[in-house]
Amino acid sequence: MRTPPKRLEDQPLFHITSVNVQTVYFDGNVDFEIRGAFDRTHGVHEGHGWLLLPQRESLVGDLKFLDHHAKSALFLTAERAIPNLKNSSVPYLSGRWKPYHVWMVIEPGWVWNRMLFNRGWSDERCDICRERIKSGEYGFVDRGGHKICERCYGQYVATHDLSFIDQL
């Protein structure tokens, strides 16, 4: 039996308990210190990572665990401004991926064109599995120029399945 597709709500969730301004810079950038706790720590890594916000927004930052047992952590991000996130729970994404990998897989309205990759495309790699899409093979291209091999399209994009985050 096939395991059910992984949805965005199946990602580790970070429940934010406080957001504090650490440093305000002359150029208008601000270092924010976001504190909270994860619902689970499997798949969460210290260091470079993302918090995914509604409307395809995201915060990039540095994650540090405070207490592994309590699953509490600190997320440092530099932005000009951030929305009011206190008491909200937001999905976490490892720095191995970028938020567009999530959006392009989960959004049903994301436009993909199936194309035959010819010689001009010969060095293109799939944005999900990173394998080369060879000349003479079919693949999928979105409006931003992201390319997906036919196998990843069938396995992840067509089913809106985020399990590649843990599998690849």
Task: List contacts with Zn ion (CB under 5 A).
Answer: 126, 128-129, 149, 152
Least Cβ distance, residue 163 to Zn ion (angstroms): 13
The dihedrals phi and psi of 77, each to the nearest 5 degrees, come to -140, 150
In this structure, what is the dihedral angle of CA atoms 160, 164, 165, 167, given to the nearest 10 degrees?
150
Least Cβ distance, residue 144 to Zn ion (angstroms): 17
Complex with Zn ion: residue 16 or 162, whichever CB lies closer? 162
Complex with Zn ion: residue 24 or 158, whichever CB lies closer? 158
Least Cβ distance, residue 54 to Zn ion (angstroms): 28
Least Cβ distance, residue 151 to Zn ion (angstroms): 6
Lay out the sheet containing 138-142: strands in order across. 112-116, 138-142, 147-149
CB burial of 22-39 (b: ≥16 within 10 Å; e: otherwise) equals: eeeeeeeeeebebbbbbe
Least Cβ distance, residue 102 to Zn ion (angstroms): 16
How crowded is residue 15: how many other Cβ atoms within 10 Å of its Cβ?
Answer: 14
